[in-house]
Structures are given as structure tokens and as C-alpha cells.
Structure 1
Amino acid sequence: MMNQPVSKIHGVGPRMVEQLENMGIETVQQLIEHLPFRYEDHAVRRVTEAEHEERITVRGTVHSEPLLRFYGKNKSRLTVRVLVDGLLLQAVFFNQPYLKRQISLGEVITLSGKFDRHRLMLSGGTLKTTENNVNEGLEPVYSIRGNLKITALRKIIQQAFTQFEGQMEEILPSQLLTSYRLMGRAETIHQLHFPTSIEKLKQAKRRMIYEEFLLFQLKMQLFRKKEREAVQGQKKFFSQNVIEEFKTKLPFPLTNAQLRVIDEILKDLQSEYRMNRLLQGDVGSGKTVVAACALFAVIQAGLQGALMVPTEILAEQHKESLVDLLEPFGIKVQLLTGSTKVKERRAILEELREGKIDIILGTHALIQEGVDFKNLGLVITDEQHRFGVEQRRILRKKGIRPDVLFMTATPIPRTLAISAFGDMDVSVIDEMPKGRLPVDTRWVKHDMLPRIIQFMDKQLNVGKQAYVICPLIEESEKLDVQNAIDVHLQLSQALPQYKIGLMHGRLSSDEKESVMNEFARNKVSVLVSTTVVEVGVNVPNATLMVIYDAERFGLAQLHQLRGRVGRGKEQSYCILLADPKSDMGKERMQIMVDTNNGFELSERDLELRGPGDFFGSKQSGLPKFKVADIVEDFKVLEVARQDAVKLVQSKAFWDGEDYALLRDYLKKQTSFTEEKLD
């Protein structure tokens, strides 16, 4: 019955149907599940108890004649002084000139609006006299489109409840309702639309937050179960003793975090299910050696491994590392990129097909036609978000159900990892190798630039190198920020004795590789660049990172850029050139100075920017929750995920009568496959 068209609601005509369809609302159920995004609290309060910039409702006596001024085209400002709780407030109403006729000197009126404690002003609100029926409850505010008015929407939602409330079914099982003392679904949705008190609204929100998270996590777990059943993995057989011997022969001791993550990966490899794991590790935390252990185990099981990275220079650096670690054990590592010569490429492809190459490293060249394996057992993708979904899928299909390991140096907050990557296992290297010096980070204003250039000269004079990062390539009229081309010219004139390189996104791939290679080989002392160096290259000799207009970058990006230095044994420095105007900009700069921990930074970044901006909403795979907030309500998210895992694994969920409505509700939600990340 709830799936009936909205035209069945009394008072909803063809025009209203069209307006609702423009908002994606076609059924009664969709209408009642279109929840308010905030509430106006019209309960009259004492102004002395109100916070600065809080929206409040107060009652007082008109103390002066209202003053109306017109400006611009059809714009007006009405001001009136009102005595409220012994204080003289100035109330300001914009573009409501008709209110002047409703205000009389000495009359008691009720005002709602944003309170400016410093100026004792109430603005941007509404006025109610004793004549126009003061509503002193919580008033819901909805997102609307087109010409539809909120008052009209409230009216039809009220009518929908009158007609259909008795048909609303509970979808959560009684066991969960009892365990968490949750409000029933019908009452929850009614309270969210028409709250009878703040306490009841809190209870309704609590229930809806849990429901939204549980439904999302169930979708993720069901997808995961379905994928596991459809695609069985290859159980790999290798000797644990041989792996332990490999670890003891490494040129450095592994951290506890690395050991823990390696164990998690090895268990996956030995499982009959295909591994689908995300490995997170801060810059310099030692992801490459973890990848080497995984590849070593796969080779011991008689299979091949592939590692795909975004750039050729990164592929070359990974090859050097893996050759050092694996070739002493007789493992053959080979490199395949777009620059590989035709004759050499032909030989590599033949050896790969015959199984003579154990591990192949490369860029997107690995997914081209003609790249075939004898028995691919493990696919590793480094900086996986740099590759498209289709590119990663093609590489996976080159083997028979290979295990998949995604690696990223972008610290993803645990909050987002659990939510967005609910269908993947997540491993975290949250410990840095011993002896690594933290990068000394300083925040300075732009007028300190001459001193920074002096400091750079000192570093270069002893043979060190520096990065200089700018937000834009060329001068822009829209943004008054330093650009890479101007900065390159400025530094070339200030430091003529050193070679200054320039790199940005408009260079061809070959040009970028050439500049980066020169910098890696210390033929270029300073690399002026846009953020294209964010992912990348290991240049231990670079000890200085200068970031112009640092307030224009997010925390995660600033941390990634800082991670380009501090890779050698010498002390490294990161200088943030910034004159932030906003409090948020100042806070970001201070956070960067205070901590080098990428995961702590990413959590703060998530709090400041919100989940949609963290990856870019298009690729984040995050659903839009109506009431829940993955940052504020993270503890509930964790509980919901644990419950979803238990439910999907239980027989009662699949067969029990108590879970029938929940199963039916999930079946109707056909969009869940679109919400997951590849």
C-alpha cells in the first residue's frame, strides 16, 4: 500500500504530482521518507541563555517605531528595537516590508532568527504577533525544488500520515529493537516529521541513524557474500617456515604493524576465498616490504604476481626495491612500461606467458592486450584511486581468480574505510620504522619569503634538494595565488647557481618523466611543481618542501606533499607559506605544524571538510544518509557493521520470520551495487 502513487493522497493534484516527481518523489513511501534536514525551534527562550549565532525564538515588547529602508532592486531592510528579558535587541528583517504594518509601539511580539550576541541583534528570521497564532514547537525544514513551498509539503505529508500511517511496517527484528531500546518505525518517522518534544526527536533520530547504517552495512555484507560465492579464490599452499626465514633475512627489522598486516594478508592467501583487501600505510611506513612478503608467498605457491603503479618512475623505484629483496631467493622480477622497447617487450611477454617471470611491475601497460600470464595468483595496485575501475578490473581478469591487494599512502580515516570500503577488508600500518626523523613543519606568512630562499640556499649549498609546490600553473584572474611558472622564474633569478626544474599537469607524460628523472638523479636542485608530485617518487636527498598558498590545500593533500621529503637519514623541513583569512584555514595550518601522523590528520580533515569532499563525492561510493552522519555517529556505524556481519552469517536472517520484512526491504533496494567501491 505504501508504494501507491502520491496522487492517492487527498489534495494532491496533477501539478503537485509533477512538483514532487521533480524531487524524485513518486510514491507515498518516498514522500514519508523525505525527512527534514533541520528543525526551527520556536519554543520561546530567555535571550540571556542563547549562544552566539544560534537560531532562537524570543518574546518582547516593541520599544521603537520600525524603520524601513529600500535599496537595490526590490530589496528592503526593516529594523525595530525590542525589549527582551531586560535587554534592548535590534531585530532585522530583509525583504519583508509588509511586516511594518504588523508592528505597533508597545505591542508584545514573538521573534525568531539568528542571534548576534556581540551586537545584540536578531536577523534573518520571522515575526509573529499575538494575532497570528504562535507555534511554539519544533518546526521541520525540508529540502525542496522548484516552486513547491515548504508549507504545502508539510500539509501533504500530514495528509499522507492521516491516510496511510496504519500501513507502515516495522523492518527491524524485535531482537534488535529490544536490545537497543529503539523506537518503533512508524512512531520514528512521525516524530521526525512532527516532533512532540526535543527528547522524542532525539529518540527518533537515534533509531533512524542506526537503521540507515544497518541497512547500508547489510547491503555491503550481502554484496561481499554474493561476490565470494560467485568467485571462489585460489587456495595457496606455501611453507610458513620459509616465509619466516624470508623475514629474518630482510635488511631491516619489521615493525609490529608490518608483522600484523603480513599475517592478515597471508591468511587471506591461504583461504579459499579471493582476497579483496585495502592496505593503508602512511608515507614511509613500509608498504613495499609488505607487498614483497605477499609476492614471495605467492611465488612459493607456484604462481605469479603483478604490481601496477601510476607512473614509470615509481615503477622503476619499486623494481629496484623488489629486486634487492627478492632476487637473492631466485625470484625473477621484470619491468614493463610504455617506454619498454619493442624487442625487449616481445621477449618479456613471451617469458611471462611461459612462467619464466615471477613478478611483473608496470604502469597501465600491464593491462594492454597481449600481456598474458601463465598463472597469475596475486594482483597488487599501488595508489589504487589513481586507476579507473575498468583498468583495475582488466588486470584482475588476466588471472584465474587472483587475490587482490590495493595499497594507498593516502591515510583514509577509519571512519571512511569502514563505511566506504565495507565490502573490503582493511589493513592499516599505523607505526613508522624506528629511527625515522619526523619532518619539521613550520607555518610562515608570505612576507618571510626572502628568509625562506636564504634557508633553501643553505640546504642546496650542502648538496640537498628542494620541492616548491604551487596551486596553479599560470596566473589566474580568479585566484590571487602564486603560480608555478612565475615561481620558477623568481627562483631562477634568486638562485642562479642552481638548476631549477619545472613540472606541471600540462606537460606530456614523457616531459614529466624526464624532469622527474633529472630531479631523482640530482641533476636538478629545486623542482617547482603543481601537485602532480603528490604521488610518488622516492628522492631521499630532498630535505626541503615549500608549499605556496598552503591554505588552499586540504590537510590530506598537504600531508601527502610533505611526505615527499624526510625519506633519508637527514632532518627534513616542510614550510607552509600561508596567509589564511578564515578560522578553518588557520586551524589547518596549526594541525599540520602539530602532528606528523597521517591518520590523525585525515580524521581532522574529515571533520573539517566532510566525507563527500575527502575523495571527491563521485568516487567515494558513500551513500547520502538522511539523518546519520558518519563522523558524528561513528560509534553507531561500528555497531551497525558488527551487527550486519553477524546477521548475514546467521541462519535466522535468511530463514526467520522475524527478519522477513527486513529481507523484503533490502530486496527492493536495488541501488546497493552502485554504492560500493570497486
Structure 2
Amino acid sequence: MTTTALHDIAVRQIKGVSAPKQQELHAFGIVSVADLLEYFPFRYEDYRLRSLAEVKDGEKATVQGKIMSAPSLQRYGRGKSRLSCRAAVEHLLVTAVWFNRPFLQEQLMPGREITLTGKWDQHRRQLTVSDSEFPDKGTAKTGTLQPVYSVGGAITQAWMRKTIKQALDQYGAMIPEVLPHALTEKHKLIPGREAVMRMHLPDDVKAGQEARRRMAYEELFLFQLKLQAFRALTRDKMDGVAHTADNESIRSFVAGLPFELTGDQKKVINEIMYDMRQPSCMNRLLQGDVGAGKTVVAAVALYAAVKSGHQGALMVPTEILAEQHARTLERLLEPHGVQIGLLTGSLTDRKRRDVIAGLQMGLIDIVVGTHALIQEDVFFRSLGLVVTDEQHRFGVNQRSILRRKGMNPDVLTMTATPIPRTLAITAFGDMDVSTIRERPQGRKPIKTYWVKHDAMDRVLGFIRREVGEGRQAYVITPLIEESDKLDVQNAIDLHVQMQQAFPDLRVALLHGRLSASEKEAAMRSFAAGETHVLVATTVIEVGVDVPNATLMVIMDAERFGLSQLHQLRGRVGRAGYQSYCVLVADPKSETGQERMAVMTETDDGFEVARRDLELRGPGDFFGTKQSGLPDFKVADMAADFALLETARDDAAELVTRPDFWQLPEYAGLRLRLEREGIFQGDLLD
């Protein structure tokens, strides 16, 4: 929004901001005048006068009236009071009630005009007053929309309103126009200065909406400008690895797979192979629902890298998943002479040294690993392709370190948290997006049920039925040990209960605090079919593949987010057997009930993701801190999706025009890009 000038002026320079108040503001992240002007309200209090006839029961409203009776004051408890009087509002006689404001008693004189704001109780004809004013004193709020800010400590709502108004009076003239004239004209946006003023002090609802639209567009446009400029200047011109694997060898490898690829998988492989053959870096996001077959696509890409004379790395968030992927790649690639290595934190020193030496000498073609891959002593002979699975689990720096272990290797990022495609393209503006939606042949939709805790006997019967038919079951719980704070089943107690319920079955326990060898033993036993029921925490959420498991029971399901529930459900239904997911929950919150409803209505991950985005918001959905997405002050990536697409198109078009890089009217935007490090070729992640 603002130029460096306002960022350089300390908030202490605003009249009325003392040194103690300055320290309080610093706690809110408000250091400069620009910070304060960008500290927008999260809602508005409506003090516009209304007729009681149009106010619904329980609604808050502002009305005008006349005091008709002397006030009555009742004191109770320690320092508590109830003050009331009768007032004529239009043709009604209503009771106005103030709690804990005894000092108003002397001002409530019969015959005096009064403006009341409060909650209307239609049946009692009573207004519980939160704010009141006397017109004979001159009204300050009546007839207005008053901003409501996040405040705390010594910063009160009234002080924040007064101080921001003072800041606008002192420095409002310095608020610059950030957007090019052509864009404000094209989208009929109000000027930047006017938008900031109206965000804080809207004349009416329409003015506030216009201001919000302008500021949301500005935020989204500046975010997209950074991504699109990076792409235009850096990524598409960065010398990368031009892979030379021929079509015939790739086709032969695919033909030798023990299953037929879906149409989506074939399409995505073609997109990836086209990128890998280019001399510039590939930066592609591969998204697909749980069980859609992303690992096989990654295997084809890694095979192509090896056939081109390079090495590949696959980084995953957990050791269990790393071991599983390593086994899958060994099965698919070792018959073709490709050597697979595994690098995790639990390897012995000797094994670790052998793997590192093999990578340096080129004896290992593909390495699968966890964060162990990014340690300083890990080097590659020729790293040509980096694949990260469940990328949101890794921080930006972790992904960048792995990428820097090669000379600008191609990057394929996989996620089983589906994002609506157009939103993914927009949010990950510097990445190309490939999507797999088709299910592999023979996979049946998972049937999902929601039951309450009192139906647990039926759930136990369901588990016994599936095990009796030769299948296996997961039982998932949110916590490992007992918690005083959360009334939830814990894995250790639940394991004991399951053993008591099924004394004739083998019941195992898996959670994050077990040693790596204990986890591996539990998973191997379950994968081999030796364990009938696996009680676990969310350590099995991502990627664990046991085709014979057909029942997923999730205890206290309301404690999980929608995407997490869907990920857990995706651990079953991985073969041709009919599979089931049972959600055991007694959600009291509306959000919890909505989650249960969504899960029972659909097993389409893209639909679940869309609903999750609506319920949680984009910050939680993408993992703002790790994904590189900014924490927008005004814009909402779910609600402002159309605006986001428009901003992306505008930014992409602008950076391709020579005049953007030359004309004075774009100097401010170029300066922003310079401050973001775009011209240094820093890699965005």
C-alpha cells in the first residue's frame, strides 16, 4: 500500500502516541505509520438508526427514544449492578437495561432524548444496552459504521479508533497510488488513498465494500506480480538439466508396469516429460487424490532422469513413508538396472556412509529419504530431478537446500491434498500444475459412516466382521497418552480396550513416540497381514499402503480437520475390496457437524478440499508459514477467488510488456520487485 516514506516514520510521531503506547503497539507488529494505516478493522459496528419494527428478536440495533421513567439501580455480587429505565421508542414503551454502569444513573432524566444501541428482546420488549448517547451532548457515533479492531492490553477500541483517525489526518495525504492507472480504470477501482480512508471510516456499507475490493485486489496483484516477474525473469531463463531419455525407452518402461495407467496418469507423464526435456528448470506441482497413483508417475520421471545420465532424489516427511517408497521404487526400477538408496535418520553410521559415498560416486541412481537428505555432508554426482512428496510438510528452506545440491535440477512437487485446479494455478503462480483425478481401475468408492460413541458395540462388530473375511482394520485416535485438557480417547488406553474386545486377534500399537525400529516392526507386521487391528495416531496419515486393510475407524473424529480425515480415509480402499470409513464423533460445534456431513456425502478429495477451504480459510489450508503464501491483511483466497484470478492475469500480462520495465509510471512496482530480491534470481519456493 505505502511507499518507503510512511514505513520510515515511527508510529511515535502520531499525535497522542506516548512512549508506553508505542511499546503496546509494537506488540501488535505496528512499528511505523504505514503499519498503523494498514491495520484494518476486521468488522464494523452499525450505529445507523433503525426502526424497531424491522429489528428481529435477538438482533443488535441502534434506536432513538425518550426516557419516560426515573432509573432503577440494583446492586448484586461484588461490584455488579443492573441499571434500568423505561423509554418511548416510536410507539412502543421499552425497558432499557445497562449492566455494571451505575454512573449513568444521574444522566437518565425523564423527558431526555437518548440513542440506544443494544440487543433487542422482542418478547420482553427489552433492550440490553451496550452503548448509549445523548443527542443534546452532540452525537459521535450515531448514524455511522464504526470500525472494530483487534485490540488488547492498554490499547482500547476507542483509543485505536481515535489514533488511526489522527494518523489519517496527519499522514493521509502521503498515501501513494500503488496501482497503475490502466488497472484502476480497467477494474473501476477507487484510488488507493480513498480506499485506505474508507477502510477505516466508511460512510456506508457500499463505500466499505468498494474500499475492501480495491485493497484486496491490490494485495493479490502485488503477490502475483512477484510470482510472475520471477517466472518471466528467472525461472524460464534459468539453465537447467535438459533430460535426453528417448520416448521409446519411456514407453517400454511404462508397458512393463504390472498395471495399466489411467488416462490422467498418461497425460501428466507427457506434461512432465515435455518439461524435463527443456533446457530450463521444471517447477511442477503434481496433485492428485489419495490413491490416485502419483508415486508411479514420480517413478517414470525418476527413471527418465536416470536414463539421461543423472540422479534423482525423493524427499518425504516420515521414515515409514520413505521406506515404503524405497520398496515401491525397488520393485519398479531395479529390474531395469536402476540402483535405489535409502537415507533416513535411523540408519547406522556405516550404512549412512555407504549411501553418501554411493551418491557421490554415482553408484546410487535414486535416493529416497527424509530430512536426512539435506544434511551438509550429502553430495550427488549429478542431481537431475528432485521430487518432494507432501510438500506442505517441508519448510521453504528445506526444499531449497535439497534443490541446491544439484545444478538447477528439475523439481516435481507432489501433494495428496487436492486444491481446486484454478486455485492451485493461481496460488502457486510460479509453478505449472498437473492434476490426476481418475481413480485406478478396480478401485471402489469408500463407504463412510458417522456414528456416536454410544454405538461403539456396533463398530466393534463391524471390525470383527471385516477381520473374519480376511481383511484388516485401522483404529485411529488423536492423542498418545491421557490428557487432562482434552476429553479424547488416547492410543495407549484404546490399544488396551481393543485387546480386551478382541482377545483372539492380534492388535498392534503405532504412534510417533515409538522408536524407528518399533514403528517399522509394527508396520511390517500389519503390511504382512500378521496383525489384524492397528491402533494408531496420525503417524499413518500420509502414504502408508496396505491393500488388505479395508476398514478405517477414526475416534473423536471432530478433532481432525477435513483434509486430515480424508487423508486417513485414503489409507483403505487401495485394492479391489469394498472398503469403509467409520467416524466416531459427538460433535457439539456446528463446524464439527459440517465436517462429518461432508465426509459422509463425498469421497472426492477435490470436493473435500473445496469445502475445507470454505470452513478453514486459505491460511490453514495451505499452511501459510510453510507454503510461502503471504498472510493477507484484507484478501481471502477463498472468498476473493475471482479477484485472485484477475490479479494473476493482469500481473502475467504486465511483466511481458517492455514498457513495464522502462516507463516511469511503473517505477514504484519495479522498486518493490527489487526489494523482494527478484532481480537477484533468488529461487521462490
TM-score (norm 2): 0.89
Are residues 1:233 and 2:254 paired?
no
What does residue 541 of structure 1 align with? 548
C-alpha separation between the residues in 2 aligned to 1:282 and 1:625?
Answer: 28
- Please report how far the alpha carbon of residue 446 of structure 1 lies from its aligned counterpart in structure 2 after TM superposition: 0.8
**Separation in 1 of the partners of 2:632 and 2:116?**
32
Hey, what's the Cα distance between the residues in 2 that align with 1:556 and 1:275? 28
1:592 to 595, 599, 616: 599
Q: How far 1:411 sits from its partner (Å)?
A: 2.8
- The partner residue of 1:606 within 597, 609, 613 is 613
1:115–1:505 distance in 2 versus 1, CA, 3 Å: farther
Equivalent residue of 1:497, what SS? Answer: coil
Q: CA deviation at 1:365?
A: 4.3
- The answer for the alignment partner of 1:455 in structure 2 is 462
The one of 448, 466, 482 equivalent to 1:475 is 482
Residues 162-311 of structure 1: pairs in structure 2 closer than 5 A = 162-224=169-231, 228=235, 232-311=239-318
- Which residue identity does 1:102 align to in structure 2? Q
Change (3 A) 1:504 1:213: same
Q: Does 1:38 align with 2:55?
A: no
Equivalent residue, structure 2, for 1:484: 491
**1:454/1:66 CA distance change after superposition, 3 Å:** farther
For structure 2, the residue ranges without an aligned partner over 5 or more in a row are none
CA–CA distance in 2 between the matches of 1:118 and 1:551? 36
Query: Which amino acid in 2 is paired with 1:198?
Result: V
Question: C-alpha offsets along residues 257-291 of structure 1, whole Å, 9 cap, x if unaligned?
Answer: 32332233223212232223322221101101110
Could you tell me which amino acid in structure 2 is paired with residue 534 of structure 1? E
Specify the alignment match of 1:101 in structure 2.
Answer: 106
Q: Give the one of 110, 117, 136 matched to 1:112.
A: 117
Please give the root-mean-square deviation of Cα atoms over the aligned residues, in Å. 3.3
**Match for 2:130 among 104, 125, 130?**
125
Shifted more, 188-197 versus 161-170: the winner is: 161-170
Following TM superposition, by how much is the alpha carbon of 1:536 offset from its aligned partner in structure 2, in angstroms? 3.0
Query: Which 10-residue stretch deviates more, 543-552 or 428-437?
Result: 428-437
CA 457–119 in structure 1, closer or farther in 2 if over 3 Å, else same: farther
Tell me whether 470-479 or 64-73 shows the greater mean CA deviation: 64-73
Pairing 1:567-578 to 2, within 5 Å after superposition: 567-578=574-585
1:425 is aligned to 2:425: no
Deviations 1:505-561 (A, max 9, x none): 221222111111111111111111121111231111111111111111111111111
**Structure 1 counterpart SS, 2:300:** helix
CA shift in 2, pair 1:350/1:35, >3 Å: closer
Please give the secondary structure, in 2, of the residue aligned with 1:315: helix
* Contact 2:43/2:148, CA 8 A, preserved across alignment: yes
Cα 1:30–1:669 change in 2 (3 A) is farther
Q: Aligned in 2, Cα 1:44/1:400: closer, same or farther, shift over 3 Å?
A: same
Secondary structure at the counterpart of residue 220 of structure 1: helix
The total of aligned residue pairs comes to 677
Query: CA offsets, 1:396-440, max 9 Å, x none?
Result: 233222112222223345587456544433332233223311111
Contact kept in structure 2, 1:423 and 1:676, CA below 8 Å? no
Q: Would the alpha carbon gap of residues 48 and 35 (structure 1) be closer, same or farther in structure 2, given more than 3 Å must change?
A: same
Counterpart Cα distance in 2 of 1:500 and 1:231: 53
Query: 1:158: Cα distance to partner?
Result: 3.4
Distance between the aligned counterparts of 2:507 and 2:85, measured in 1? Answer: 63
1:658 equivalent in structure 2: 665
- Aligned to 1:139, which of 141, 146, 157? 146
1:609-667 CA-to-partner distances (Å, cap 9, x unmatched) read 22333355543543332222222111111111222222223222211222123333555
* 3-state SS, counterpart of residue 573 of structure 2: coil
Aligned to 1:553: 560
Shift of residue 35, structure 1, vs aligned partner: 2.4
Contact 2:467 2:532 in 1 (8 A): yes
The aligned amino acid for 1:56 is: A
Match of 1:648 in 2: 655
Aligned residue number for residue 625 of structure 1: 632
- Return closer, same or farther for 1:314/1:620 CA change in 2, 3 Å cut-off: closer
Letter in 1 for 2:81: S
Aligned mates of 1:202, 1:44 — CA distance in 2 = 20
C-alpha distance in structure 1 between counterparts of 2:255 and 2:199, whole Å: 60
Aligned residue in 2 for 1:59: 64
- CA, structure 1 residues 212+78, in 2 after alignment: closer, same or farther (shift >3 Å)? farther
Report the 3-state secondary structure (helix = DSSP H, G, I; strand = E; otherwise coil) of the residue aligned with 2:136: coil
* 8 A Cα contact 1:372 1:398, kept in partner: yes
Change (3 A) 1:102 1:670: farther
1:608 alignment partner, SS class: helix
Which amino acid in the other structure matches residue 625 of structure 1?
A: F
Of residues 333, 348, 366, the one that matches 2:340 is 333
Taking the TM superposition and a 5 Å limit, the aligned residue runs for 1:360-439 are 360-368=367-375, 371-412=378-419, 417=424, 421-439=428-446
Q: Match of 2:520?
A: 513
- Could you report, residue by residue, the CA deviation over 1:211-233 in whole angstroms, capped at 9, with x for unpaired residues? 11111222333445565389531
Question: Is the alpha carbon distance of 1:197 and 1:337 closer, same or farther for their aligned partners in structure 2, counting shifts above 3 Å?
Answer: closer
CA contact (8 A) 1:64 1:80 kept: yes
Of 313-322 and 459-468, more deviation after overlay is shown by 313-322
Mapped partners of 1:548, 1:475: distance in 2: 14
Pair 81,282 (structure 1): closer, same or farther in 2 beyond 3 Å: farther
Secondary structure, aligned partner of 2:61 = strand
CA distance in 1, matches of 2:86, 2:425: 52
* Cα distance in 2 for residues equivalent to 1:370 and 1:8: 51
Distance in 2 separating the partners of 1:239 and 1:285: 26
Report the more deviating stretch, 154-163 or 439-448.
154-163
SS for the counterpart of 1:131 is helix
Identity level (%): 53
> Given that residues 534 and 564 in structure 1 are in contact (C-alpha distance below 8 angstroms), is that contact kept between their aligned partners in structure 2?
yes
Corresponding letter in the other structure for 2:182: Q
What SS is found at the alignment partner of 1:44? coil
- State the SS of the aligned residue for 1:642: helix
Partner AA of 1:179 in structure 2: K
Instruction: Tell me the distance in 2 between the aligned counterparts of 1:672 and 1:400.
Output: 19
Q: Which amino acid aligns with 2:43?
A: R
Distance 1:411 1:265 in 2: 18
Q: CA deviation at 1:452?
A: 1.2
Deviates more, 1:470-479 or 1:119-128: 119-128
CA distance in structure 1 between the aligned counterparts of 2:678 and 2:100, rounded to whole angstroms: 43
Moved more, 308-317 or 287-296: 308-317
CA distance in 2, matches of 1:79, 1:269: 76
| Contact 2:49/2:64, CA 8 A, preserved across alignment | yes
Instruction: Name which of structure 1's ranges 301-310 and 9-18 shifts more when overlaid on structure 2.
Output: 9-18
Moved more, 260-269 or 88-97: 88-97
Aligned letter for 2:44? Y
- How far apart are the structure 1 equivalents of 2:354 and 2:669? 57
- Within 1, Cα distance between the matches of 2:304 and 2:250? 7
Contact 1:282 1:409 in 2 (8 A): yes
TM-score, L = length of structure 1:
0.90
